[in-house]
Structure 1
Amino acid sequence: MQTATLGRTGHDVSMIGLGAWQIGDAWGTVADDDARQVVRAATDAGVTFIDTADVYGSGRSERFIGEYLAGDHPPVFVATKVGRRVDQLPENYTEENFRAWLNDSRSNLGVDRIDLVQLHCPPTAVLEDDDVFSALDGLVEEGLIASYGVSVETTEQALIAIARPNVATVQIILNCLRLKPLERVLPTARTRGVGIIARVPLASGLLSGRFDARTTFAADDHRNFNRRGEAFDIGETFAGVPYDVGLSAVAHLRELVPEGMTLSQFALRWVMDQPGVSTVIPGASTPDQARANAAVAQMPSLTDEHFAGVRRIYDDLVRPHVHHRW
């Protein structure tokens, strides 16, 4: 498994991590035993970084990870996120609320100190509030958290967060259909020593190549109920790309995939190969998916020809739909 330093945390983590939203909620039903097996399969395959959030199944995802941490296991670095359990108003981002949220997450995870806590896509005004980051600094000094970071929706929010002196990591959507972070976010993060956690690397499964125009999704799957941004930012579902446009882009991307790789693995390798990425966090609903994701770390890097092909498809088909928005 390839590793990289996770920004200002100073910890080396696997470049393929596990995104644990899928074992929490909003992706259709994932049975309890399947969720546990996903975590075990990922870590057995060399994954040492797991990303979750307190709202994923109202703590369900955190509790599965806590069960894992309580057992016999290889060392793992766990990041969680807080802030989406309240109305998204800047005045709700207080030290009092941070403490309450962290106490719940520490209980779910079964730990005294959380490795990395991230603000979960807060309003821009929160990122501009010095008091918010003073409170987080105090929680680090107190030992409740080891480091903190920010998960963001837009590149501008990422740049605001990166400028904060004690922000260790920034989590942002980056995949073959969302290239804008390559322009300023990744280079700036590298210069400042901030880690980049790349989420939604498979565009909610679009980049697996398993979907077509007839594919349907369960009522409790965000790929059904958030297609137009009804529940949260539309960029989190299919990376904000219109479904038909995404299918067309996937058809062209297939032509770039080298022998011995699946389209999913090609898409993950593309993200891994971007300078400045610390870790990529695909989700999984089965152990086989978790193992296939982890296997990407043993595959060869892509070539300039592959990168140029992805850029061409993005510019021709996708850019007009997403580049100006995020």
Structure 2
Amino acid sequence: MQSRPFGRTGRNVGEIGFGAWAIGAAWGKVDDAESIAALHAALDAGLDFIDTADVYGDGHSERLIARVLKERGGERPFVATKAGRRLPAQAVEGYSAENLESWIDRSLRNLEVETLDLVQLHCPPTDAYYRPEIFERMDRLVERGKIARYGVSVERVEEALKAIEYPDVASVQIIYNMFRLRPAQLFFREAQRRGVAVIVRVPLASGLLSGKFRADTRFGADDHRQFNRRGEAFDVGETFSGVPYEVGLAAVEKLRPLVPEGATLAQLALRWILMDEAVSVVIPGARNPQQALANLAAADLPALPVATMDEVARIYDQDIRPHVHQRW
């Protein structure tokens, strides 16, 4: 797997990482033994970037990662976490110095480290990006050695563009996939110009782009693909990228003929993301070793032909754009 510069931090990371939301909670039943095996398999295969958050299973994801890394010893991968969603209700006032330090101290304990590699503000309210004092508080935590660097995880392109105006924002995590093309316009180019790392989440549109779902597929009550269909729990754009389920299923059928021989639709979707050099790392989830290794194998696919890229754009414009483009 190829490595890419992680913005201007001086670090390189493998272009496919491990998204650890699914091993924490909100994706149906979690099997810790399988989660641990998935992490080991990915790390054995050379993966060196893991993304988690303090709210994934109320810290369960962070603690599983710490357990695996302690078992392995040796050189640690880059571990990014997030803070901010522990607030009972999202409000700018909640991002106080006291709260930020409390959340970060908790992640330090969960991950069993003295300094966190990267802390991302976890989809804070849009108004937070217009409050310099919040970013100054993060600067103070860097100065005190609790975090090595910080970034943001955003819902909207506009938030990403505002965030990178702050000189010490090292990274932006954003949804980008074949059902969410807008970030590749102005934001990706600005991130490149400023040397900001781009972490791509929800690369498979919550599994829609795996091609494994059907109209009669059923999700458990504890799976956000069931309980957040209309944004009941958090931003609806996090579930199926905001695309109505039936619309997404129809678009997937148009994408199937584009899959290279010997590959899967999910691998095509990941390789499509890597076609943009602004992307630093993409973080698909995996709940077992087979999924983890299949994700990494996507990096070995050859560059996609222009005709494939054009057809993806055509399907997006025809079927998906009206539902998502101006919302996020």
Q: TM-score range by the shorter chain?
A: over 0.9
Q: Which residue of 1 aligns with 2:90?
A: 88
How far apart, CA to CA, are the structure 2 residues paired with 1:233 and 1:280? 20
Q: Which residue of 2 aligns with 1:186?
A: 188
Runs of 4+ in 1 over 3 A off after TM superposition: none
Quote how far apart the aligned CAs of 1:123 are: 0.6
What is the RMSD computed on CA atoms of the aligned residues?
0.8
How far apart, CA to CA, are the structure 2 residues paired with 1:321 and 1:126? 26
Question: Could you tell me which amino acid in structure 2 is paired with residue 317 of structure 1?
Answer: D
Partner-residue secondary structure (3-state), 1:284: coil
Q: 1:286 aligns with which of 285, 288, 292?
A: 288
Deviates more, 1:302-311 or 1:70-79: 70-79
Q: Which residue of 1 aligns with 2:80?
A: 79
Quote how far apart the aligned CAs of 1:70 are: 1.4
TM-score by structure 1 length? 0.99
Q: Which residue of 2 aligns with 1:51?
A: 51
Partner-residue secondary structure (3-state), 1:145: coil
Note the alpha carbon deviations across 1:15-35, whole angstroms, 9 max, x for none.
000000000000001211111
Deviates more, 1:199-208 or 1:36-45: 36-45
The count of corresponding residues between Structure 1 and Structure 2 is 326
Deviates more, 1:71-80 or 1:229-238: 71-80
Note the alpha carbon deviations across 1:122-173, whole angstroms, 9 max, x for none.
0111111111111101111111000000000000001001111000000000
CA contact (8 A) 1:8 1:169 kept: no
How far apart, CA to CA, are the structure 2 residues paired with 1:85 and 1:211? 31
Note the alpha carbon deviations across 1:95-146, whole angstroms, 9 max, x for none.
1111100111000000000000000000111111111111101111111000
Q: 2:174 aligns with which of 168, 172, 175?
A: 172
Pair 1:40 & 2:63 matched? no
CA contact (8 A) 1:54 1:82 kept: yes
CA contact (8 A) 1:69 1:109 kept: no
Q: Which residue of 2 aligns with 1:240?
A: 242
Note the alpha carbon deviations across 1:232-256, whole angstroms, 9 max, x for none.
0000000000001100110001011
CA contact (8 A) 1:42 1:290 kept: yes
Alignment of 1:24-173 (within 5 A): 24-73=24-73, 74-86=75-87, 87-173=89-175
Pair 1:2 & 2:17 matched? no
Quote how far apart the aligned CAs of 1:72 are: 2.1
Structure 1, gaps ≥5 residues long: none
Quote how far apart the aligned CAs of 1:216 are: 0.4
Structure 2, gaps ≥5 residues long: none
Quote how far apart the aligned CAs of 1:275 are: 2.2
Note the alpha carbon deviations across 1:239-290, whole angstroms, 9 max, x for none.
0000011001100010111112100000000011112000000001111000
CA contact (8 A) 1:207 1:250 kept: yes
Partner-residue secondary structure (3-state), 1:81: strand
How far apart, CA to CA, are the structure 1 residues paired with 2:9 and 2:68? 22
Note the alpha carbon deviations across 1:63-103, whole angstroms, 9 max, x for none.
01111221224530000000000021000101111110011
Identity of aligned residues (%): 57
Partner-residue secondary structure (3-state), 1:50: strand
Question: Could you tell me which amino acid in structure 2 is paired with residue 38 of structure 1?
Answer: A
How far apart, CA to CA, are the structure 2 residues paired with 1:28 and 1:234? 18
How far apart, CA to CA, are the structure 1 residues paired with 2:300 and 2:231? 36
Q: Which residue of 2 aligns with 1:302?
A: 304
Partner-residue secondary structure (3-state), 1:71: helix
Q: Which residue of 2 aligns with 1:319?
A: 321
Q: 2:228 aligns with which of 226, 229, 254?
A: 226
Q: 1:211 aligns with which of 205, 210, 213?
A: 213
